[in-house]
Amino acid sequence: MAMKRRTFVGAIAAAAILPAVAVRAQAPAKARVVVIGGGFGGTTAAKFLRLEDPGIAVTLVEPKAEFHTCPASNYVIGGFRKLADIVQDYSALAGRHGVRHVREAAVAIDPASKTVRLSGGQTLAYDKLVLSPGVDMRWGDIEGYDEAASATMPHAWHAGPQTALLRRQLEAMPDGGVVALSIPGLPYRCPPGPYERISLIAHYLKMAKPRSKILALDGKDAFSKQALFQDGWAELYKDMIEWVPLGQDGKIVEVVPGEMTLVSEFGQRHKAAVANVIPPQFAGNIARESGLADKAGQFEGWCPIDPFTFESTLAKDVYVIGDAANGGVMPKSGFSASSEAKAVARHIASLVAGRTPDLPVYINTCYSLVAPDYGISVADVFRPTKDGIVATPGAGGLSPRHPPDAAAFRHHEAEYAYGWYASMSQDIWG
């Protein structure tokens, strides 16, 4: 009897709570934040805004249901991961974190009326906007290289079908063929990415097509982690990789997809069995078309930001993060994008709560694989100053070139690279 009574009292208590919960659920949001782009920057921003303050209503505008990560896409190209291994989705974001996911593209931003127009015609109003659309390709910068040409000469610089295409082409090419890569000058997405790709294509060719060669045609004279990559190439892929810097006519200015030919600045013609053309890039179309990117100068096509807040210097209450932003010395990486997103989420939550925002610190750690069990890395801590973002001296560093037990060291760094991917995926999409 006593038990029944307790159950009954409990039921009444629960019923009494219900209306209060319902009222709370309908309470007006403290602020409306729209996030454009569900990649490394945007998804982190959406999730961490909700973690900072569940009273903020967050809408993520991202047309895709699934996102293929560029990080680890070189593993797919190297043949030791499948495309399905690099897929993330938005179920935790919508379910666990209460972010509204609108599966449309943003087609226009109007900072004056603080609205975003969607591909379906609807308009979203915002108090704060976070924009992380990544990069788009500068089609036509290399003569003959447009979207149609990328079906023959893939860039694979957006992960997904392009990644799978490049992998299929490598599988289909004959032993003894040349794989040519065209690599742009800075700035572009993931400075060490092309060199990890060269390494992992070499890893595949060494096993499956050992008479083949890689010709890396570069629009610059030096690259990220260069000595470490070149040590690894000499050790693992002797005579397989030829890297041609800008100073030796490495810059590709034209392609002829029908002839699988790449043409250099001074007219050398390189014929390839597989051509991976990574074209110059700029901030995602929506950022540029909405007037948020520089229209001239060294950083034409990239979005200028306040280094303390990542707020656009061209539009109030619009925060541009990730690859699209001109973060100065910060490399365009997924880790940077996510680090910027967390700082922006905290900044916005502080403003909403009426707190003075903290001074942010940004970080980047970037692992690259030279082979599946051979990793190298670079790490940096960045701080904003009135003259831009600067690296903190002594706070980061590169893998050593000659560690005592080199094989074990490189093996451990490869393990850390896989761990990095797993923990980043969980941190952002989990």
Ligand X SMILES: Cc1cc2nc3c(=O)[nH]c(=O)nc-3n(C[C@H](O)[C@H](O)[C@H](O)COP(=O)(O)OP(=O)(O)OC[C@H]3O[C@@H](n4cnc5c(N)ncnc54)[C@H](O)[C@@H]3O)c2cc1C
Alpha-carbon distance of 335 to 340, in angstroms, equals 9
Alpha-carbon distance of 375 to 398, in angstroms, equals 12
Q: How far is the CB of 420 from ligand X (least distance, A)?
A: 7
Q: How far is the CB of 189 from ligand X (least distance, A)?
A: 5
In the complex with ligand X, the residue whose CB is nearer, 64 or 411, is 64
Q: How far is the CB of 211 from ligand X (least distance, A)?
A: 26
Q: How far is the CB of 365 from ligand X (least distance, A)?
A: 8
Residue 238's contacts (CB-CB under 8 Å, 6 or more residues apart) are none
Alpha-carbon distance of 299 to 349, in angstroms, equals 30
List C-alpha distances in Å: 224 to 17, 214, 270: 58, 19, 25
In the complex with ligand X, the residue whose CB is nearer, 264 or 421, is 421
In the complex with ligand X, the residue whose CB is nearer, 212 or 333, is 333
Residue 311's contacts (CB-CB under 8 Å, 6 or more residues apart) are 305, 317, 318, 319
List C-alpha distances in Å: 417 to 126, 148, 380, 420, 422: 38, 34, 16, 5, 9
In the complex with ligand X, the residue whose CB is nearer, 203 or 332, is 332
CB 335 within 8 A of CB 349: no
In the complex with ligand X, the residue whose CB is nearer, 264 or 342, is 342
In the complex with ligand X, the residue whose CB is nearer, 128 or 332, is 332
In the complex with ligand X, the residue whose CB is nearer, 302 or 335, is 335
Q: How far is the CB of 137 from ligand X (least distance, A)?
A: 11
Q: How far is the CB of 424 from ligand X (least distance, A)?
A: 7
Closest CA to 183 of 207, 201, 167: 201
Question: Could you give the 3-state DSSP secondary structure of residue 367?
Answer: strand
CA angle 282, 285, 286 (to 5 degrees): 130
Alpha-carbon distance of 293 to 39, in angstroms, equals 19
Q: How far is the CB of 186 from ligand X (least distance, A)?
A: 13
SS3 annotation, 73-105: HHHHHHCCCCHHHHEEECHHHHHCCCCEEECCC
In the complex with ligand X, the residue whose CB is nearer, 67 or 429, is 67
Q: Report phi then psi at 305, rounded to 5.
A: -135, 160
Q: What spatial distance separates the first Cα and last Cα of the chain, rounded to whole Å?
A: 46
In the complex with ligand X, the residue whose CB is nearer, 53 or 323, is 323
Q: How far is the CB of 76 from ligand X (least distance, A)?
A: 10
In the complex with ligand X, the residue whose CB is nearer, 52 or 340, is 340
Q: How far is the CB of 62 from ligand X (least distance, A)?
A: 5
Q: How far is the CB of 287 from ligand X (least distance, A)?
A: 8
List C-alpha distances in Å: 104 to 36, 120, 122, 133, 223: 10, 7, 10, 13, 37
Which positions touch ligand X (CB under 6 A)?
Answer: 36-42, 61-64, 67, 70-71, 73-74, 105-106, 132-134, 157, 189-190, 193, 197, 284, 286, 322-324, 332-335, 337, 366
Question: For residue 39, how far is the Cα from the chain centroid?
Answer: 7
